[in-house]
Amino acid sequence: MNKSKKETILDEALALFATHGFARVSISMIAKQAGVTKSLIFHHFESKEQLWETVKETFFKHYADNQMHLFDSEKDPIELIKKSMKYYFEFVKKNPMIPRFFAHAHLENDDKCGLMDQPLIEKGRKLIQAAQQNGLMRKDFNPVILILNFITVINQYFIAECHFSHWDEDLYTNPTAFIDDFIKITIQGIKP
């Protein structure tokens, strides 16, 4: 299926923003990369700021919708954590520009990112707290730190391959072994 011009603009804007950040990307750069005119970009997006926000919302929504479905469908909290980690890993593996894009958003103090993922964090926090109250997870940790931990480690695995591959040559030859080990270590750490 052919992508629409708007989808092409979003994809190319993501790649450029992920590589250079918001401030160093111009509409002209995006137009050239997408093979469209600047006027077509402005037909779809009022400004570079609106394009940035749309890129953020579009790609975050891909992840968030599936994670919310996982929250609703998986009733075992330990399995939910395992599946959430695995899903996030696979999502980033298929969309390697996403953590780079959000890294630039954070470096540029884009405070809207924290608002965008707040519903996911709140739902995750409540589910983890319920598991803690029911004795399924240790009670001595902040649920948000668990979420922050797995998101950060997975993002860094993909962002910093050039660095971490020097630590262990096998780390990137078998990504499944990496995520399986990380899940195992995490689950062992949260069980009572």
Residues 72-119 have pLDDT tens digits of: 999 999 999 999 999 999 999 999 888 888 888 888 888 877 788 899
Tell which residue, 104, 64, 105, 106, has the closest CA to residue 87. Answer: 64
Tell which residue, 21, 7, 123, 109, has the closest CA to residue 58. Answer: 7
Q: Which two tokens stand for residue 64?
A: 């968030």
CATH code for the domain defined by 52-190: 1.10.357.10
In the chain, where the domains are located: 52-190
Please identify which residue in the block is written with the tokens 């708007």. 6
Average pLDDT on 43-62 reads 91
How much of the chain, in percent, has pLDDT values that exceed 90?
73
Q: Is the pTM above the cut of 0.75?
A: yes
CB neighbours of residue 155 within 10 Å: 17
Please identify which residue in the block is written with the tokens 């660095």. 163
Task: Enumerate residues 6+ apart whose C-beta is below 8 A from 121.
Answer: 144, 147
pLDDT for residue 1: 54
Q: What's the CA gap between 50 and 110, in Å, rounded?
A: 13
What is residue 169's three-state secondary structure? coil
pLDDT for residue 84: 96
CB neighbours of residue 11 within 10 Å: 17
Q: What's the CA gap between 55 and 61, in Å, rounded?
A: 10
pLDDT for residue 110: 82
Tell which residue, 185, 59, 74, has the closest CA to residue 124. Answer: 74
pLDDT for residue 82: 97
Q: What are phi and psi of 133, to 5 degrees?
A: -65, -30
- The answer on pLDDT for 2 being more than 70 is no
- The chain-wide mean pLDDT, for the chain, equals 92
Q: What are phi and psi of 169, to 5 degrees?
A: -65, -20
